Structure 1
């Protein structure tokens, strides 16, 4: 019985010792802060800056065909969507009234020519009498006047005949270009009146294999546009497709609507399959800057500036030291500036390499607000720090007033302190 009790006592002692040691080690580890660090890798990819706008698809060249004479539409030879060639007869007006005017003009010319011949003969006869003194000067002057008047009447009749012939030719309507009939505005038998405004008969466009988008670009974005920039756009009719074009014209005339200023920008578009139609609304994306197969870094990495005391403690813990030493002459140095710090025109980021975190000055290119192009300073695969905090989310240790201006990168001298009484210690953790 005594042996059994002694055995239980030994087991109890062992359990107590183990529990004590566990408690001791747990308490000793609990004094060390826990850190949370986030990094992003430098990767290869594409980056771009874009602006967006809306616009309307239009044919590159549209001609409105009208008539220069009044009359009744007698015959239409083309309809909507008809393909036409330049010089092709597409409509005719009733010519009966115009032909009557032409015949009248011809008769008037013949009468004027006969009268001119008579007045010419009369002038020749009276000229001889006048030269012999057998005709008074006033009578001779009248004969000369009548002859000149008859000559003017002939010219007027010739002009009227030419006008009548031209009006007859105007009754035949021909296509001015090769293209496609977009609109037919009249019907056979309809009367059209040519007055101050030419009546519209047809709207003809050139080949729709090439079209254009007339986009309205906001004044805040117009300064970024350049000729030749790549454009992508979609239309509701083919929402699953993306069409491409390029900026071909930037007009200087501003348009104002509801106190908003926009500028018309023309985008040339190829339409080989004729899916795009005039009048479609296009949602446009203009690539004002773009680069492919370049080094990319998340933009948030450039906004990270570590708390120096927190960084010192984290690196000390990584190296398993109570206080970080300057092994191999390497020691992180604080940035020269604060948030969004720059050094000699370059952005400073913090790179994690093994047990070391060091500041690196980089040169950046295109920045779209999410990712940025890295021109120099980093290599593919580098890990760049975006945050360093304590496990509870704190971004720094709580500092005393004496530590406000203290840098963890400056070693304490022996005898440090306000009174110089004792040896200096590491910065408070």
Structure 2
């Protein structure tokens, strides 16, 4: 009985196979690819970043003294000149302090002058005492010399007295001898008379010598007394001179102290004058007031840190944009590179500038490291304002006369449906990565990235054939890449596949 059922099963199998083949044929007929032509032209590779517009030079004006704001003469956007008064503090306490300092200075100056007069008088007294001491010393020396002369004269007179005494003794002996001889008749009376005369003369001479000796002793005693008096006077004058010198030194110390005190008080006067001048706050530069942080009646305290009163931009015609460049891009950003800038206030206008500086100091926010690039931009018409957010496009490379194609052409790879509709040349190894679920190495949903200097693949459509061409990526700008073919022929006008409608990933 089962034999009659065999034709039915065969017919059903044939119908099912016919339906599958018909569906496959229909699917193959409906799969198509989207292409784009390879072109030759210029491509500018750039790095994008955002930042804030700021004046190139900003001056913060503060106060060096504490006080109460009494008057404000400028406001936001005021054009100021160097030396122009910006604000005035209440000067009453500073004027009072200056008056007190000047009074103290006058007192200190009077004390200094009195000390100077005392010093001059003490010096004159010391000089007079020194002269008196010198005179007393000279008198003492003279008295000592006189005493020495008196002693010498006394010795001479004593010798004369001794000589006259000897002569008198001889005369007496001669008289006694001649009288004996006269009694014996050996000499005449005249000889004895002569002896008597000689004896009288020698006695008178001895008396004179003794009188002279007594006078010499008196003179010696007087000279000794004079010497003692002169020495005492010299000692007294020396004591007076020493005391005068000590007084002079003390007066000199007092004058030095008075002079130092006067200098300190004069310095306090200058400081009080300076504080009074600081009560009038002026602009240090020509510029525009971009911020005012005070109001009339407000108290500013400058005890520990100078408070910020105004912020002045020196020249709003020259601005800078401080942009944050990501760590992967900072190696490509160099000084002098041209930059295109846009701001929200002028969405249809592009400003141009140049990179002036790439700062070494990093900024880390939520584990993301960025570096600040300073971009100088002219602002002659004043359109850019401080604090605006700017988007910067930094041109880091330019490729002229290069082959360019859409970046999507380097990210597309044929799926199985495309391979059924077209003749796809199977590569031995995909350029730039490992296979990811397709016999041709990649699917449309590839995670490969085409970065400058990397290798990639472009699929070229030639008739019903799709061929894989290895290329080197020179640079990328948005959705366009500049490439160099590696080995295979890829010329301007060639069609590269960028998408398909197979319904698979990336189609």
Distance verdict in 2 for CA 1:292–1:50, change over 3 Å: same
| Alignment pair present for 1:203 and 2:294 | no
> Is contact 1:233–1:242 with CA below 8 Å preserved after alignment?
yes
Counterpart for residue 200 of structure 2? none
Counterpart for residue 386 of structure 2? 278
Deviation of 1:81 after TM superposition, in Å, equals 0.6
Q: Counterpart of 2:296 in 1: which secondary structure? A: coil
Counterpart for residue 76 of structure 1? 72
Q: Counterpart of 2:403 in 1: which secondary structure? A: strand
Cα RMSD over matched residues?
A: 4.0
CA distance in 2, matches of 1:188, 1:155: 38
Distance verdict in 2 for CA 1:282–1:144, change over 3 Å: same
Match of residue 155, structure 1, among 263, 266, 270: 263
Deviation of 1:349 after TM superposition, in Å, equals 6.3
CA distance in 1, matches of 2:353, 2:468: 43
Counterpart for residue 364 of structure 2? 256
| Alignment pair present for 1:372 and 2:481 | yes
Counterpart for residue 192 of structure 1? 300
Deviation of 1:228 after TM superposition, in Å, equals 2.5
> Is contact 1:71–1:94 with CA below 8 Å preserved after alignment?
yes
CA distance in 2, matches of 1:198, 1:59: 22
Superposed CA offset, 1:149-190 (max 9, x none): 121122112211211221121122111111111112222333
| Alignment pair present for 1:236 and 2:327 | no
Deviation of 1:314 after TM superposition, in Å, equals 8.3
- For structure 1, the residue ranges without an aligned partner over 5 or more in a row are 1-29, 316-333, 395-429
Q: Counterpart of 1:239 in 2: which secondary structure? A: strand
Distance verdict in 2 for CA 1:212–1:105, change over 3 Å: same
| Alignment pair present for 1:129 and 2:238 | no
Q: Counterpart of 2:404 in 1: which secondary structure? A: strand
Residue correspondence of structure 1 range 273-352 to structure 2 within 5 A: 273-291=381-399, 294-299=402-407, 338-340=429-431
> Is contact 1:341–1:347 with CA below 8 Å preserved after alignment?
yes
User: Structure 1 runs of 4+ off > 6 angstroms?
Assistant: 33-38, 303-307, 345-363, 391-394
CA distance in 1, matches of 2:460, 2:98: 93
Q: Counterpart of 2:394 in 1: which secondary structure? A: strand
CA distance in 2, matches of 1:352, 1:93: 81
Tell me which protein shows more strand as a share of its residues. Answer: 1
Counterpart for residue 119 of structure 1? 115
Counterpart for residue 142 of structure 1? 250
Distance verdict in 2 for CA 1:37–1:176, change over 3 Å: closer
Q: Which has the higher contact order (CA 8 A, sep 6+)?
A: 2
Distance verdict in 2 for CA 1:381–1:141, change over 3 Å: same
Distance verdict in 2 for CA 1:141–1:257, change over 3 Å: same
Q: Counterpart of 2:349 in 1: which secondary structure? A: coil
| Alignment pair present for 1:109 and 2:218 | no
> Is contact 2:287–2:312 with CA below 8 Å preserved after alignment?
yes
> Is contact 2:52–2:322 with CA below 8 Å preserved after alignment?
yes
CA distance in 1, matches of 2:469, 2:362: 46
Distance verdict in 2 for CA 1:46–1:202, change over 3 Å: same
Counterpart for residue 439 of structure 2? none
> Is contact 2:427–2:468 with CA below 8 Å preserved after alignment?
no
Q: Counterpart of 2:345 in 1: which secondary structure? A: helix
Distance verdict in 2 for CA 1:161–1:306, change over 3 Å: closer
- For structure 2, the residue ranges without an aligned partner over 5 or more in a row are 1-24, 130-236, 434-453
> Is contact 1:51–1:285 with CA below 8 Å preserved after alignment?
yes
Q: Counterpart of 2:334 in 1: which secondary structure? A: coil
Tell me which protein shows more helix as a share of its residues. Answer: 2
Deviation of 1:196 after TM superposition, in Å, equals 0.7
Is the deviation greater in 77-86 or in 251-260?
251-260
TM-score (norm 2): 0.57
Deviation of 1:263 after TM superposition, in Å, equals 1.8
CA distance in 1, matches of 2:502, 2:347: 48
Q: Counterpart of 1:97 in 2: which secondary structure? A: helix
| Alignment pair present for 1:221 and 2:217 | no
Deviation of 1:88 after TM superposition, in Å, equals 1.6
Match of residue 54, structure 2, among 45, 52, 58: 58
